[in-house]
């Protein structure tokens, strides 16, 4: 049942009856919602649980409104077993990914399928009041539309998941000294949404939600050890180890943008140090170097862009490279080589099966990805790269939004929370705001 464990494999397992109960409840639900098992006998086989336990757990989950009996399966002589289905439309999840320069806001079902979404430009530096008010407006616009479309005017919100472009203390849902988010430090993002929607809320760094999105619905499905690298304005990584997000003791695991490179340390990074990776290879660095190249007459393409638009962006550099502009090709190749050099170390250290490159800069062409690949394969140990795949994000812009939804879904159905919820006899279709410690706190 390898894939099932991927949902909650980080949960502390205990040998107490309470722990076993929580685990078997969660296992049964996971088997059905992942599509691995559709009948009681199949659940029993995959979970290694006896018939009585399976029946009890299925009954509990059905009474709680999480499972339902489907139509009878095809008969093969005797009485066909009843098909069980996860009630993915019993409620919805509100998900938001807040980037440095845009917000993506959506409503998903409990299987992470996006039912409605909206993306617009936004400046995270405008502060939490402005940005979060806008996110709430969009939620309040999308939610009635989804309810109307599903013909369910009272369809409840079961949870909220939010990704932010900076470090987040996962246990409290507050940003922690985020460098590009003035006014956000310590802001109670989780509490604000929890009050407004009267539902559990989880907040995390957007790179983590992107990694989770790829794991659950993107190119990392079925994998256990993944490195997700976002090359946007800045650079960050999300680490999935043994099927679970590794957030680290302070929640800032994967903050690789400020790792030292071997470049001459003549560029001061926004963090105050010199020689940081993102100060040479991030989107802001590409835009800066592209602008200099335009002004110095080293790129005809970028000089034209500068004359027309008054500035040069990372996207302009990518476009210039794709059209064969030599300076831009060099800039992107250098960025890819620098990212690849650090990744080679991480690959040797962590031995992932898959490295996913995402973020705005990565989407612009193959040059950067090719340079990353070439460097990683050249510099890593042969054993670490024998089965290694390095690929572009499959979900692209959507990874963060989908991942934010799955963060909430995974937490809602985590064993301890699920057991408390089911045992409390909360009315079907509405999870109680049970006071279960968050998983990082449990661990």
* Contact residue for Zn ion among 63, 150, 271, 432 (CB under 5 A): 271
Site stretch for Zn ion (CB under 5 A), options 244-252, 275-283, 385-393, 402-410: 275-283
> Is the Cβ–Cβ distance between 268 and 279 less than 8 Å?
yes
Residue by residue, DSSP assigns 194-233 as: HHHHTS-EEEEEHHHHHHHHHHHHSTTTT-SSEEEEEESS
Instruction: Out of 22, 212, 269, 343, name the contact with Zn ion by CB under 5 A.
Output: 269
CB of 13 to Zn ion, least distance (A): 39
Is 272 or 310 the residue whose CB approaches Zn ion more closely? 272
Task: Give CA–CA dist 375/387, Å, rounded.
Answer: 16
* Bridge pairing between strands 102-109 and 114-121: antiparallel
Residue 436 main-chain phi, psi, to 5 deg: -100, 135
User: For residues 34 and 40, what is the distance between their CA atoms, to the nearest angstrom?
Assistant: 15
- The nearer residue to Zn ion, 268 or 381, going by C-beta atoms, is 268
Binding mask 135-164 for Zn ion (x = CB under 5 A): ------------------------------
Q: Give 282 or 336: the residue with its C-beta nearer to Zn ion.
A: 282
**Cα gap 123→103, rounded to integer Å:** 9
Q: What is the CA radius of gyration of the chain?
A: 23
Q: Which is nearer to Zn ion, 234 or 363 (CB)?
A: 234
Q: How far is the CB of 269 from Zn ion (least distance, A)?
A: 3
Nearer to Zn ion, 126 or 268 (CB): 268
How many Å separate Cα 175 from the centre of its chain? 17
Shortest reach from residue 283's CB to Zn ion, in Å: 14
Residue listed under structure tokens 């690298």: 229
Residue 288 contacts Zn ion per CB under 5 A: no
* Strand extents, DSSP E, 91-133: 92-98, 102-109, 114-121
CB of 271 to Zn ion, least distance (A): 3
Q: How many residues make up the chain in this entry?
A: 443
Rounded to the nearest whole angstrom, what is the least distance from the CB of residue 257 to Zn ion in the complex? 6
d(CA 138, CA 143): 8
Using CB under 5 A as the binding criterion, the count of chain residues that bind Zn ion stands at: 5
Q: At its nearest, how many Å lie between Zn ion and the CB of residue 350?
A: 22
Give the x/- contact pattern for Zn ion in 248-267, rule: CB under 5 A: ----------x---------
Member of 103, 276, 369, 399 binding Zn ion (CB under 5 A): 276
Closer to Zn ion by Cβ: residue 63 or 260:
260
Using the minimum distance from each CB to Zn ion, give the nearer residue, 204 or 255. Answer: 255
Residue placing its CB nearer to Zn ion in the complex, 126 or 271: 271
List strand residue ranges (DSSP E) for 131-189, in order. 157-164, 168-169, 174-175
Q: Beta strands 157-164 and 92-98: pairing type?
A: parallel
CB 164 within 8 A of CB 206: yes
DSSP track, 80-99: PPEEEEE-TTSSEEEEEEE-
Distance of closest approach, residue 343 Cβ to Zn ion, in angstroms: 17
Nearer to Zn ion, 327 or 341 (CB): 341
Q: Which token pair is 77?
A: 């002589």
Least distance in angstroms from the C-beta of 347 to Zn ion: 22
* CA distances, 299 to each of 71, 289, 399 (Å): 65, 11, 34
Least gap, CB of 258 to Zn ion (angstroms): 4
Interface positions with Zn ion (CB under 5 A):
258, 269, 271, 273, 276
């Amino acid at each position: 049942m390898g894939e099932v464990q991927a949902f909650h494999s980080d949960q502390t397992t205990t040998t107490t009856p309470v722990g076993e109960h929580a685990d078997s409840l969660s296992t049964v639900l996971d088997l059905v919602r992942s599509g691995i098992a559709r009948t009681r006998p199949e659940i029993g086989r995959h979970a290694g649980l006896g018939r009585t336990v399976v029946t009890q757990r299925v009954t509990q989950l059905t009474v709680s409104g999480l499972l339902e009996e489907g139509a009878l399966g095809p008969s093969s002589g005797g009485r066909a077993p009843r098909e069980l289905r996860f009630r993915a439309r019993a409620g919805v999840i509100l998900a938001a990914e807040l980037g440095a320069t845009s917000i993506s806001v959506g409503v998903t079902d409990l299987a992470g399928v996006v039912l409605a979404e909206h993306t617009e430009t936004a400046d995270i530096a405008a502060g939490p009041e402005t940005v979060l008010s806008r996110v709430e407006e969009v939620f309040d616009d999308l939610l009635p539309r989804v309810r109307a479309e599903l013909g369910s005017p009272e369809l409840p919100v079961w949870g909220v998941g939010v990704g932010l472009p900076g470090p987040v203390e996962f246990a409290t849902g507050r940003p922690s000294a985020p460098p590009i988010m003035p006014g956000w430090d310590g802001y109670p993002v989780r509490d604000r949404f929890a009050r407004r929607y009267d539902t559990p809320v989880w907040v995390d760094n957007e790179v983590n939600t992107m990694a989770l999105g790829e794991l659950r619905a993107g190119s990392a499905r079925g994998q256990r050890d993944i490195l997700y690298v976002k090359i946007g304005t800045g650079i960050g990584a999300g680490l999935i180890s043994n099927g679970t997000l590794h957030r680290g003791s302070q929640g800032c695991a994967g903050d690789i943008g400020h790792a030292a490179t071997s470049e001459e340390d003549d560029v001061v990074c926004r963090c105050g140090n010199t020689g940081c990776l993102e100060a040479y290879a991030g989107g802001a660095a590409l835009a800066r170097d592209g602008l200099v190249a335009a002004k110095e007459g080293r790129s005809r393409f970028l000089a034209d862009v500068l004359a027309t638009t008054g500035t040069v962006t990372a996207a302009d550099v990518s476009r210039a490279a794709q059209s064969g502009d030599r300076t831009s090709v060099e800039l992107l190749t250098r960025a890819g080589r620098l990212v690849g050099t650090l990744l080679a170390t991480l690959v040797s250290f962590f031995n992932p099966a898959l490295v996913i490159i995402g973020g705005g800069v990565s989407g612009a062409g193959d040059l950067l990805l090719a340079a990353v690949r070439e460097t990683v394969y050249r510099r890593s140990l042969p054993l670490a790269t024998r089965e290694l795949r390095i690929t572009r994000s499959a979900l692209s812009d959507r990874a963060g939004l989908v991942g934010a939804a799955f963060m909430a879904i995974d937490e809602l159905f985590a064993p301890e929370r699920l057991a408390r919820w089911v045992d409390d006899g909360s009315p079907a279709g509405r999870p109680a705001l049970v006071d279960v410690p968050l998983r990082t706190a449990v661990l």
